[in-house]
Structure 1
Amino acid sequence: MGARVNTFNTPGVVEYAHFLKEVEDAQRIRKSVLDSFERASLPSLSEEERKRILHFVVVGGGPAGVEFAAEFHDFFHEDLLKLYPHIKDYVKITLIEAADHILNTYDNKITAFAEEKFQRDGIHVKTGSMVVQVTDTEISAKERKTGEVSNTPYGMVVWATGNGTRPEIMAFMKQIGQANRHALATDEWLRVGRCENVYALGDCATVNQRQVMEDIAFIFNKADKNKSGTLNLKDFQEIVDDILERYPQVKLHLKRRKMRNFSALLKNSQESAQNQAIEIENFKSALSEVDSQIINLPATAQVAGQQGEYLADCFNRMEECEKYPEGPLRFRGSGRHQFHPFRYNNLGKFAPLGGKQVAIQSPGDWVWIGRSTRWIWYSVYTSKLASWRARTSVISDWVKRFIFGRDSSRIRD
């Protein structure tokens, strides 16, 4: 099902803005760009009207908005400028972002580099501005700090502000009692809550990671086999692996605190590091900050692809694994669940910035920015395509673009 563009109910967006979701959206954008340059070439236009027609506004400073602004800048300077040299001084690209910086989910180095590069390229970045209305000729934006509203004439506006819920999903969520959410809530096995044999993945759903503090008494009682009300670290070792698997935020918390294992966290909560008996209050104290490490998965193809592979593997082994984990936690020796919960493996992310430059942020937060990184991006991009036919087609298009430039004809329309 995926998702649709989130317009935040802004007046005029649906009627006048272009989106970046479907193939049809790309075709409309292409036609609108070429029409704008053709209309701006008419000698009967006034200077003011020509500037308005050639003002291209991108709303949303996330990966999609930034990549589109960068690609459009390259398209104009490398291809369209040769066809329309007489109107080059009228073209303007503006990127509007409500937050203080663009690419705010990336490393600060990438954010700073992207903003500096856009400034050098002549792309106007307007941060701290929230669009409140779009008409057929103007876009109104409100400054977050001052509250001042400014009206800007434009020729084409592209809306890239994140995901919204499709009507079919909204109707289904109302039926199952999830009407107050922005996406379908699933557990770590991608099962939709309050539904039997219904699974959801991708942009239409979000994994609702269970909190440790919800199950704190249950976990403690499992570790306390003697029912003494206290437990030693040795008693606790048998369930450590299950806790780390069931609650990934524990591992993130240990990493942030630079602790090697769970025992160190428990010892840290005691006044003495000697093998004292751990009471439930000490146990709660040690885990009180763990749930703050819960991170929602990003709405990317990388997440959806891994979820698809995970569910396919589960479905293929469904007959041999009839027992699903119905309780909050199962432990070794007492019916440990057959399927491991879904765990997202972050393989890194890319941010094409135009000018043959790509920023890469690896899982360990290593950052590479430059022209050489584009070859890594090309390699990863082609490797994720569905077939060798698709790979050959895409690579051949890249080769033709490098040799002859981008196709700016209307034949494809």
Structure 2
Amino acid sequence: KKVDVQFSEAECFKIDAENKKVYCQSNANNSLDGKEEFVVDYDYLIIGVGAQVNTFNTPGVVENCHFLKEVEDAQKIRRTVIDCFERANLPEVSEEEKKRILHFAIVGGGPTGVEFAASLHDFVNEDLVHLYPGIKDLVKITLLEAGNHLLSMFDKRITAFAEDKFQRDGIDVKTGSMVVKVDEKEISTKELNNGGKITSIPYGMAVWSTGIGTRPFIKDFMSQIGQASRRALATDEWLRVEGCNNVYALGDCATINQRKVMEDIGAIFKKAEKGNSGTLTVKEFQAVMNDICERYPQVELYLKNKQMRNIADLLKEAKGDVQKESIELNIEELKTALSNVDSQMKFLPATAQVASQQGTYLAKCFNRMEKCEANPEGPLRFRGEGRHRFKPFRYKHLGQFAPLGGEQTAAQLPGDWVSIGHSSQWLWYSVYASKQVSWRTRALVVSDWARRFIFGRDSSRI
């Protein structure tokens, strides 16, 4: 089925939710004076603009550091690496200055910073050392992390392996080092494990990879809809932005504000009980249990973590033996049974895996909107009549990878399954290729890998 789709290469600089307008300007590189601006009217708006780099207001970061966010950032980093080697290879440059120029500092020990440090190490030691043999021994890579370990969100086995491998590879890992200032040629760090001592580190290129922040026009939009105090757009479980109509948000720019069971406990009790008796039988509660688990995913997580088989196990603490379906509970006993359930609420990580699943979910919802309007397929509305139109979004974690260089990758998959080494690298290759948007891009990526294996990486300037 053909649909009318219009694509514009432009950036949004303002959203007017009240009048349903999006203000945009062209971001095409040309020699024309100014940037063309235009307005797009909408019925439904989906916001998926991602986030920007978070500098934590550290002085000098914006002026002196490279970032790892856009394609242009990667191209600029590559040019700078080549420039550093070319300049250090000049005969009139002193030995001390060569060491500074060839010192590459990476700030941030998360997945992005670790992968970049590993990739840079491979690029230098597998390709550039053959082009610049006279200065290969002067190259140094330093990874600065404010926490006590790299990859703190991964399994401890992966963290330990990554730190050991980097030590073997000659990558200097400095944990407990918080960057407080970045000058043109030096990085100032506060050594948290050494009494807060301030240390200066000379560098030739610095890369900043320490987290994400909200884009300015999203902050402006958040202030319009009463979310000024938040760090990301708050949505409900259906990815609808809270505080406005027909606006959806996904990815790094948004966070799901999962509703708590205890906020709706009265409505749940009222919806489940029959006859306004003031009490609820186990049978009546079981009748709405599936809707409760679908509406509040923390209930299912709580049952799983506490190794409870069913609702009877959940209600035992409040009522004792509840195997008999005729046993009744009042609202206070139900509150007691569900009082700790909300402790299982979790925020979703800002990863491409989350954004991809959200995009797929939202597309299915829009494609089924007319059908689900007539036949709702979501859970019961505990505060209202009928059922929700769609099932709420549920994130399914499929695992995570951490490329560590030298054709080795760490993989952490559901079920506490951890794999580290060359076999995991091939698993990463297959997953990465399968996630490409088309067969064309898949072929381009695979051919690029093949070309690198045969001829090495391209070291020419872009």
TM superposition score normalised by structure 1: 0.95
**1:249 alignment partner, one of 298, 308, 312:** 298
Deviations 1:106-164 (A, max 9, x none): 11111111111111111111112211111100111112342222111111111111111
Amino acid at match of 2:128: L
1:150-204 Cα shifts (integer Å, max 9, x gaps): 1111111111111111111111111111111111000000000011000011111
From 170, 177, 192, the counterpart of 2:219: 170
2:77 matched to 1:26? no
Q: Hey, what's the Cα distance between the residues in 2 that align with 1:334 and 1:264?
A: 29
* Aligned mates of 2:181, 2:265 — CA distance in 1: 48
Secondary structure at the aligned position of 1:2 is classed as: coil
1:114 has 2:165 as partner: no
2:207 maps to which of 125, 137, 158:
158
State whether structure 2 residue 433 is matched by structure 1 residue 382: yes
Of the structure 1 ranges 266-275 and 396-405, higher mean CA displacement relative to structure 2 is found in: 266-275
Matches within 5 A, 1:4-23: 4-23=52-71
Please state how far the C-alpha of 1:271 moved relative to its aligned partner.
4.0
User: Using the alignment, how far apart are the partners of 1:264 and 1:226 within structure 2?
Assistant: 26
Q: Does the 8 A contact of 1:5 with 1:21 survive in 2?
A: yes
d(CA) in 2 for partners of 1:19, 1:188? 32
Superposition RMSD in Å: 1.9
2:232 pairs with 1:183? yes
Q: Secondary structure at the match of 1:319?
A: helix
Give me the identity figure in percent: 67
Q: 2:87 aligns with which of 23, 29, 39?
A: 39
- Per the TM alignment, residue 44 of structure 1 is displaced from its structure 2 partner at its CA by 1.8
Counterpart residue identity of residue 314, structure 1: C
Q: CA deviation at 1:294?
A: 1.0
Offset, 1:337: 1.7
Cα deviation, 1:324-361, whole Å, max 9, x if unaligned, reads 99x99526x95122300000111111110101001111
Quick one: distance in 1 between partners of 2:230 and 2:385? 35
Residue from 358, 366, 384 that aligns with 2:417: 366
Matches within 5 A, 1:1-400: 1-145=49-193, 146-273=195-322, 275=324, 276-322=327-373, 330=381, 335-400=386-451
- Aligned letter for 1:5? V
Distance 2:345 2:266 in 1: 20
Give, in whole Å, the separation in 2 of the partners of 1:48 and 1:226. Answer: 85
In 2: Cα distance, 1:324 partner to 1:103 partner: 45
- Counting matched residue pairs gives 409
Which SS does the other structure have where 1:214 is aligned?
coil
The gaps in structure 2 that reach 5 residues or longer are: 1-48
CA contact (8 A) 1:215 1:328 kept: no
Amino acid at match of 2:390: F
Write the deviation string for residues 6-47 of structure 1: whole angstroms up to 9, x where unpaired: 111111111010011111101110011001111111222222
The letter for the 1-side match of 2:363 is A
> Alignment partner of 2:372: what SS?
coil
Q: Secondary structure in 2 aligned to 1:213?
A: coil
Distance 1:361 1:370 in 2: 12
Distance between the aligned counterparts of 1:305 and 1:173, measured in 2? 23
What is the aligned partner in structure 1 of residue 4 from structure 2? none
Q: Give the drift of 1:376.
A: 1.0
**Alpha-carbon distance between aligned partners in 1 of 2:374 and 2:72, rounded to the nearest angstrom:** 44
Counterparts of 1:48 and 1:328 in 2: how far apart (Å)?
67
Contact persistence 1:223–1:231 (CA under 8 A)? yes
CA contact (8 A) 1:269 1:286 kept: yes
User: Could you tell me which amino acid in structure 2 is paired with residue 337 of structure 1?
Assistant: H
C-alpha distance in structure 1 between counterparts of 2:318 and 2:190, whole Å: 48
Task: Show structure 1 runs of 4+ deviating over 6 A.
Answer: none
Whether the 8 Å CA contact 2:234–2:254 is kept in 1: the answer is yes
| Range with greater deviation from structure 2 (141-150 or 296-305) | 141-150
1:323/1:337 contact within 8 Å kept? no
Q: 1:341 to 1:323 in 2, by over 3 A?
A: farther
SS in 1 for 2:189: strand
In 1, the alpha carbon distance for the partners of 2:277 and 2:172 equals 67
Aligned-partner Cα distance in 2 for 1:322–1:210 = 23
Offset, 1:51: 1.2
User: What is the SS of the residue equivalent to 1:125?
Assistant: strand
Give the structure with the larger strand fraction: 2
Q: Partners of 2:56 and 2:374 in 1: how far apart?
A: 42
TM-score w.r.t. length of structure 2? 0.85
Aligned partner of residue 370 in structure 2, secondary structure: coil
